[in-house]
Amino acid sequence: GQSLEQPSEVTAVEGAIVQMNCTYQTSGFYGLSWYQQHDGGAPTFLSYNALDGLEETGRFSSFLSRSDSYGYLLLQELQMKDSASYFCVVRSGNTPLVFGKGTRLSVIA
């Protein structure tokens, strides 16, 4: 089967940097995605890593280590609007995408 572990909550200060971790167990791993979901909204795609290393998109970066079955999402220059839930998602072969339980990020002034 597949499983993902994420911390349930993280609090960070506006303007700071926050890292949200994800560890996974799966067979036939293809890649790791990250989705953002604001309260009452639908999840939206942030990033995808198929290879080891760091992918950067503006203030958001995502990292993957396939050998460690580990990834993280890094948010820089935090803004209040970044308060949301962040889900890591595993893609394995033709199986459905499996979502972690998500990390709820609270950005405080």
Partner 1 sequence: GAGVSQSPSNKVTEKGKDVELRCDPISGHTALYWYRQSLGQGLEFLIYFQGNSAPDKSGLPSDRFSAERTGGSVSTLTIQRTQQEDSAVYLCASSSTGASGNTIYFGEGSWLTVV
Please tell me the number of Cα atoms within 13 Å of 76 on its side-chain side: 7
**Binding-site size, partner 1 (CB under 8 A):** 20
Measured CA to CA, the distance from residue 72 to residue 46 in angstroms comes to 12
Residue window 5-44: x/- pattern of binding to partner 1, with contact defined by CB under 8 A: --------------------------x-x-------xxxx
Cβ at position 107, least distance to partner 1 in Å: 18
How wide is the angle at C-alpha 46 spanned by C-alphas 42 and 105, nearest 5°? Answer: 70
Of 16, 50, 54, 80, the one binding partner 1 (CB under 8 A) is 50
With a CB cutoff of 8 Å and minimum separation 6, the contacts of 32 are: 22, 24, 48, 49, 62, 64, 71, 88, 89, 90, 91
Cβ at position 106, least distance to partner 1 in Å: 13
DSSP H or E segment with residue 24: strand 18-25
Contact between 71 and partner 1 by CB under 8 A: the answer reads no
Cβ at position 49, least distance to partner 1 in Å: 10
Residues in contact with partner 1 by CB under 8 A are: 31, 33, 41-45, 48, 50, 87, 91, 94-102
